Structure 1
Amino acid sequence: MEVKDETGASKAVLREADLRHAQARLWTAPGNPFEDYPSLSDCSGLIDKLRPDHALRPVWVCPNLSLFFENIVENADRIQEFLVAIAEPVSRPDLIHQYKITAQSLNGAVYGSSLDGRTILRELGHMSKTAPLPDTVVDFVESCTSRYCQAKLVLRSSNYFVESNNPEVLRHLLENPQIQQSRFKVAGATSEFHVTKSVSKQEELGANTALRSVATDLLRAVDKGDDFDEDVKSGSIEKGAQRSLTVSFMIKRGAVEQVKREARNADYPLLEEYDFRNDMQNPSIEKFNLRVVDPRTDKRIRVRPYQEKALSRMFGNGRARSGIIVLPCGAGKTFVGIAAAQTIRRSCLVVCTPNAAEQWKREFQKYTDLPDSSIAVFNSNSKPVNMPNPCILVSTYSMLGYNGPRSVESAAVMQQIQEREWGLMLLDEVHTFPATTHRNMIEVCKAHCRLGLTATLVREDDKIDDLDYLIGPKLFEANWMDLVDQGYLAEVQCVEVWCPMAKDFHREYLRSKYAEAQKLLSVMNASKFRAAEFLVGYHSERGDKILLYADNIWALETYCKTLGIPYLHGETSPDERLFWLGLFRGDPRFLFRNFVRKERKLDYSEVLGGVRSDVAGVMELKDRFTQMSLAERSRYAITVLGLSKIGDVAIDLPDASVLLQVDWHGGGRQQEAQRMGRILRPKPNAQDCKAFFYSLVSRDTKEMYHASKRQQYLIDQGYTYKVLLSTRLTTEDPGSPPMESIVPEGSQAEADLLEATKQEVDRRTDGKGSSGHSKRGMDLKKGGGSSKKQKTSNGGSANSSSATSRHLLFRSREKKKRPVRI
């Protein structure tokens, strides 16, 4: 069905008209049309090389290795797939996409997609609007692809070997002094290298030829007589299938990362593949099959097309390739990882963030028929000393990367992990892996294949490129907006709400000399508080489920206490965390607990771990709850939840449709995208089928600069931000009643909020605190914040920052600092 706008024009016609208008402005601009685009500064000469039929060819190939794709042609999906395979996506808005050819992207093309340099250049040549291709592009592609996939890193008998079909490649690598020092020399060896086996070149090349003729349909109308697939038809690609010897040398323990890094720097990145079908040494997992129907919902489990493509890149040649798969949040990364583990059917080690360990176990139980005894969790609460072999083990980065002393049980589990050969190592949120404390897992956990999963392959430091040799090249990356158009992700309206600084808050902001003080003042800005209050009330009336984010714990507690919202942060107990998340999801188990609490007027703490059997009339309450309709049960759920940065990743809240962030970590692009992912699940029952992503920004503060940096990653994915003044929030809906705020402008409540914020600023900047000032957030409705003990909105109690609540070490240090009175 053709999509049309309100005027009756089709979407395709409108998009083509917009593109032609942009082109017309570009070509008719006086002077150099590329002078306003720094990335095209050396591309102005391309205009003189335009082909006569350039309008039918969709790609600009620039000398600086940039590619610009006009996303309006037929077969655009296949062309995008080819471009993503050979280049890194830079920006992909609706009409024109920008890509960049890099050494890492070409490594992924040769390794993950089985494309050689000749095929890449041929396809680019037919898509290019200009001819011939720039020399810089040709030289770079040929020089990189000629050296890739020439050497492998292989795990055999718990030892790592570097092997190749060409002894000259190994000799070239051993010229590097660090690789030479990392080589383990076998005593009494008479030959230069160890001959391991013979393989065919055809096997090394792989069987994935889906991207080799991506431009065939597109250019058939342009070059009817140009047989650019002559090489494939003549069988020249299959030539050289003759068998050749494979030679190798062994690597010392503890030197794997160094060897991989130096090989990458020498332009011979080490290929990692696992021939799991012929692995007779490691036992396979029996009764390990994917379910056809979800046992909890009776819904059919289907593999989505993009998930199938991602898995085909990993297993395209019948072996398991190591690498990274990039899928948006909510697009089913967990299922892709489980499907990969089921395909290999060997022991699998899943490494994730702490709050995702139990979630991964539940997902294995949901999607596979594995018995519970074959799925173990290794974290601070669980130590599976007697792990079955083979099994699925779920652990965390902090548990496996820890280098300090361990308990007896933990040390016993680690010994089993180190002694075992793992068929697959699944790294969830792999963008965290380059951290110094995590990298040693390559040596600790010996795995034949490593698969990294992430939604945001981006870091604010320069370590993201290290993943190319630590894990492997990028195998697949999905386009966010394509998944939105196909209905796999929710359509999100991104709004940046500009909140003017309240007069008194702005005065203190300008006077402050501390960056941390300025940050807290901008977060607690009274105008921002009123905007958050309005948006929570507005979307609550709509029936939306809302998440309120703040990195600063004191700010989070103050917002949530005043608005009457439960909240979670790092110090929240596991039982309390499960309770509030269960109420937000509408889990019947936790709804029943809340029902009992309200009926018997109990405190939250009395039902967090479950309903006790000694509660009066518990069986009668259970019968009443069972007979309730879904609508009646929903009254005991919660629709608003406050979260600190612990909710940024690996938290499953599929019903959330609105996200408000009032505080964040600087200009972190990764955090912005991860938070967006909390509301990306499709919302079939939501109004307008949309989700809303609000960033509340205090004007005339550093938040304006940080917000523009944070948004860049999502803008490059095709999202747009609407800017809205907080003063216009109530006027957007003329029929809405006047807003009555808890913190009216110029009121005593606003003065109390400022005073509490100043006290918190003093505590943070002094390092000593002020007597009677609480470390916990204040409740503006109670008009306080300075009491030594307050009830939290979660039903618990929080001690103040008095000396008695501080650790003995800090109390003694503060005692020494006190001046001596004579």
Structure 2
Amino acid sequence: MNWDPARPLIVQNDLSVLLETHHSDFEYVRSTLSRFADLIKTPEHLHTYRITPLSLWNAAAAGMRVDEMTAFLQKYAKFDVPTGVMSSIRKYSMRYGLLRLENVGKELYLVSDDTVVLKEICTYDSINGYLQDARGDRAIAISPEYRGLLKQELTKLGYPVEDMAAYRRGEFVRIPLLDNMEDVEVPFQLRDYQKHAVDAFQRIGDGRGIGSGVLVLPCGAGKTIVGIAAMARCSCATLILTSNVTSVRQWKREILEKTGLTEEQVGEYNGTCKEVRPITIATYQILTHRGKRDDEFSHLHLFSEREWGLIIYDEVHLLPAPVFRATAEIQATRRLGLTATLIREDGREKDVFSLVGPKRYEMAWKELESKGWIATVTCKEIRVPLSSQDRDLYVASGARQQFRIAGENTAKLEVIDDLLQLHANEQTLIIGQYINQLEQIADHTGAPMISGGMSHDDREKLYQRFKEGSLPLLIVSKVANFAVDLPDAAVAIQVSGSYGSRQEEAQRLGRILRPKRKGANEAVFYSLISEDTKEQDFAIKRQLFLVEQGYRYSISPRNTVR
């Protein structure tokens, strides 16, 4: 057996990969490995990744070749890479594209050059209802209405389909970008990586019918701009689905500022306003609304209200189950998913892959940071002992209540005071899960609080004051996790969160990633964690996202703040 102790990787038979964190090549190895493997756990000295079929399919869809993956592992592994691992990488990577959906005339075919595989899948009862007659040895006709369901089921069976079938044109809408308009005083320019992301979605010039997929870009990288550029390329009626009303208004604002579209062409569709226009922006909440549990969803008809040529799923990792079902029925419409993380708390990443599309492009957070497009962030966890009163209550409570007691630990107030003093001249957000806790902090600091019970207009006024600098401290509940543009926020203090949600950690970090308009382009993300509690156990899982993106995550006792 060959081995080289100076190399940073240990590749194991079960497709797990161990990475030494103190190696001089750590950053490069981490960023390359994360293209085709998922981070599992992050003890201080040795991070664990796992290579999965889905991670390999996404890598293949994004253009990473099998020989790139295997050569990389061979170059950086301490020991010989197990033969079984090499064969599994080849086997699963090559499954992507083994089955294809293609148009032949007016018919839709499931096609494969491997006649054995095509015969094998015909034996599965779960897909028989979607298949029609064979067209020779290498093709089977399918009904277009089953396009999404067939892809979804074949992905579950381990045979991801490369969808190369045509997409309908949709209703034509001219969408000129202001960077292309000569009479604009201050045109904006797409950044290089934004152009690359749009090109990856459309696969310009390769002659293939690509029109679906997911673009993974950090918060603050301009995902909205990428979506608008994709709209302009497609020049068609577009339905944009996003997380909340604040995000709807942000999309509308950006569209009107950066395109030649008029106010009359851009509609909002939410609980209070239902405009169906050539460009329509709706919330996931309104699409999944129903009067009673057994009622039909009242607004899913929006998918058929116009001849949409493109549907954009903002924050695609939040896509609710009813929208998945509707998406399965509209596979002939181009679909673009935008997200900062493909992690889903419900484990339905494969459904995003099969129904919205595979990952087409991903930009590393640290790479954007190094170029100054997002702020340089320091991540710090501060361990806070429970107050004596909370400790007694904690010991006497059940597991679920213990987590909340730890989150609302009253001893965190003193740490907040110290941090606010330390960052006295910086725009600061305090973010938390529990309204009672946030109200207590608001009373203690005298700062205003934003929660779901506040009207959207009142929220916007506070956000605007914060942006202008007249409000240096703002306390926000989880309603601010998504799509809130606060470019000068330089400090975030997370006082409580949703168990081990890596997804939430990504979004909260995103509140301070926007490049700063003045001073140093730097920010600090604090997490206040109650020491030796269930909150500390869940915090380890939340750290995974930050470490996966390349951030150093320091842990300090409470007495180091002062």
Q: Tell me, yes or no, whether TM beats 0.5.
A: yes
Sort the Cα spacing of 1:293 and 1:455 in 2 relative to 1 into closer, same or farther, 3 A: farther
Please give the alpha-carbon distance, in whole angstroms, between the structure 1 residues aligned to 2:554 and 2:390. Answer: 26
Task: Indicate the residue corresponding to 1:764 in structure 2.
Answer: none
Post-superposition offset of 1:445: 4.6
Please tell me the residue identity of whatever aligns with 2:239: L
Task: Indicate the residue corresponding to 2:127 in structure 1.
Answer: 179
SS across alignment from 2:550? coil
Task: Indicate the residue corresponding to 2:263 in structure 1.
Answer: 372
1:307 to 187, 191, 194: 194
Residue 534 of structure 1 pairs with residue 418 of structure 2: yes
2:141 to 235, 248, 260: 248
2:504 to 671, 675, 680: 671
Residue 163 of structure 1 pairs with residue 163 of structure 2: no
Task: Indicate the residue corresponding to 1:36 in structure 2.
Answer: none
Task: Indicate the residue corresponding to 1:201 in structure 2.
Answer: none
Please tell me the residue identity of whatever aligns with 2:349: I
SS across alignment from 1:331? coil
Please tell me the residue identity of whatever aligns with 2:535: E
Q: Which moved more, 1:549-558 or 1:462-471?
A: 462-471
Q: Is the 8 A contact 1:418 1:444 kept in 2?
A: no
SS across alignment from 2:55? helix
Q: Which moved more, 1:85-94 or 1:670-679?
A: 85-94
**Deviation per residue, 1:455-489 (Å, 9 max, x gap):** 12223443334322232222222222222222222
SS across alignment from 1:666? coil
2:445 to 554, 560, 563: 563
SS across alignment from 2:511? helix
What is the RMSD computed on CA atoms of the aligned residues?
3.9
- Percent identical residues: 30
Sort the Cα spacing of 1:470 and 1:533 in 2 relative to 1 into closer, same or farther, 3 A: same
Sort the Cα spacing of 1:312 and 1:81 in 2 relative to 1 into closer, same or farther, 3 A: farther
Trace 1:650-669 onto structure 2 (pairs within 5 A): 650-669=483-502
Please give the alpha-carbon distance, in whole angstroms, between the structure 2 residues aligned to 1:416 and 1:299. Answer: 33
Q: Is the 8 A contact 2:110 2:141 kept in 1?
A: yes
Sort the Cα spacing of 1:557 and 1:132 in 2 relative to 1 into closer, same or farther, 3 A: closer
Task: Indicate the residue corresponding to 1:269 in structure 2.
Answer: 160
Sort the Cα spacing of 1:442 and 1:377 in 2 relative to 1 into closer, same or farther, 3 A: same
Post-superposition offset of 1:361: 1.5
Q: Is the 8 A contact 1:351 1:426 kept in 2?
A: yes
**Which structure: larger Rg?**
1
Task: Indicate the residue corresponding to 2:224 in structure 1.
Answer: 334
Q: Is the 8 A contact 1:112 1:321 kept in 2?
A: no
SS across alignment from 2:555? strand
Post-superposition offset of 1:578: 1.3
Trace 1:532-681 onto structure 2 (pairs within 5 A): 532-539=416-423, 541-542=424-425, 544-586=426-468, 637-681=470-514
Sort the Cα spacing of 1:69 and 1:483 in 2 relative to 1 into closer, same or farther, 3 A: farther
Please give the alpha-carbon distance, in whole angstroms, between the structure 2 residues aligned to 1:334 and 1:503. Answer: 47
Trace 1:271-286 onto structure 2 (pairs within 5 A): 271-273=162-164, 275=166, 282-286=170-174
Alignment length, in residue pairs? Answer: 552
Task: Indicate the residue corresponding to 1:111 in structure 2.
Answer: 61
Sort the Cα spacing of 1:139 and 1:286 in 2 relative to 1 into closer, same or farther, 3 A: same
SS across alignment from 2:333? strand
Residue 475 of structure 1 pairs with residue 360 of structure 2: yes
Sort the Cα spacing of 1:166 and 1:523 in 2 relative to 1 into closer, same or farther, 3 A: closer
Please give the alpha-carbon distance, in whole angstroms, between the structure 1 residues aligned to 2:182 and 2:509. Answer: 27
Task: Indicate the residue corresponding to 1:685 in structure 2.
Answer: 518
Q: Is the 8 A contact 1:498 1:726 kept in 2?
A: yes
Sort the Cα spacing of 1:444 and 1:506 in 2 relative to 1 into closer, same or farther, 3 A: same
Q: Is the 8 A contact 2:382 2:556 kept in 1?
A: yes
Please tell me the residue identity of whatever aligns with 2:547: I
Residue 422 of structure 1 pairs with residue 308 of structure 2: yes
Residue 150 of structure 1 pairs with residue 43 of structure 2: no
Post-superposition offset of 1:62: 4.9
Q: Is the 8 A contact 1:398 1:438 kept in 2?
A: no
Q: Is the 8 A contact 1:560 1:567 kept in 2?
A: yes
Sort the Cα spacing of 1:448 and 1:506 in 2 relative to 1 into closer, same or farther, 3 A: same
Please give the alpha-carbon distance, in whole angstroms, between the structure 2 residues aligned to 1:156 and 1:450. Answer: 22
Q: Is the 8 A contact 1:583 1:638 kept in 2?
A: yes
Task: Indicate the residue corresponding to 1:805 in structure 2.
Answer: none
Identify which of structures 1 and 2 has the higher relative contact order when contacts are C-alpha pairs closer than 8 Å and 6+ apart: 2
SS across alignment from 1:498? strand
Q: Is the 8 A contact 2:324 2:351 kept in 1?
A: no
Trace 1:83-482 onto structure 2 (pairs within 5 A): 85-88=35-38, 100-113=50-63, 115=65, 117=66, 119-120=67-68, 123-124=71-72, 127=75, 134-153=82-101, 161-164=108-111, 166=113, 168=115, 170-183=118-131, 192-193=133-134, 248-251=141-144, 253=145, 257-273=148-164, 275=166, 282-289=170-177, 291=179, 298=186, 300-304=188-192, 306-316=193-203, 317-318=206-207, 319-355=209-245, 356-385=247-276, 387=277, 391-402=278-289, 415=301, 417-418=303-304, 420-433=306-319, 435-443=320-328, 445-482=330-367
Please give the alpha-carbon distance, in whole angstroms, between the structure 1 residues aligned to 2:85 and 2:535. Answer: 40
Q: Is the 8 A contact 1:256 1:442 kept in 2?
A: no
Please give the alpha-carbon distance, in whole angstroms, between the structure 2 residues aligned to 1:536 and 1:125. Answer: 46
Task: Indicate the residue corresponding to 1:695 in structure 2.
Answer: 527
Please tell me the residue identity of whatever aligns with 2:111: S
SS across alignment from 2:508? helix
Please tell me the residue identity of whatever aligns with 2:88: F
SS across alignment from 1:439? helix
Post-superposition offset of 1:175: 2.4
Task: Indicate the residue corresponding to 1:713 in structure 2.
Answer: 545
**Deviation per residue, 1:192-229 (Å, 9 max, x gap):** 3479xxxxxxxxxxxxxxxxxxxxxxxxxxxxxxxxxx
Q: Is the 8 A contact 1:165 1:247 kept in 2?
A: no
Sort the Cα spacing of 1:140 and 1:503 in 2 relative to 1 into closer, same or farther, 3 A: closer
Q: Is the 8 A contact 1:85 1:113 kept in 2?
A: no
Q: Is the 8 A contact 1:288 1:368 kept in 2?
A: yes
Sort the Cα spacing of 1:682 and 1:92 in 2 relative to 1 into closer, same or farther, 3 A: farther
Please tell me the residue identity of whatever aligns with 2:558: S
Task: Indicate the residue corresponding to 1:49 in structure 2.
Answer: 2
Sort the Cα spacing of 1:132 and 1:641 in 2 relative to 1 into closer, same or farther, 3 A: closer
Please give the alpha-carbon distance, in whole angstroms, between the structure 2 residues aligned to 1:527 and 1:250. Answer: 62
Q: Is the 8 A contact 2:197 2:215 kept in 1?
A: yes
Q: Is the 8 A contact 1:93 1:715 kept in 2?
A: no
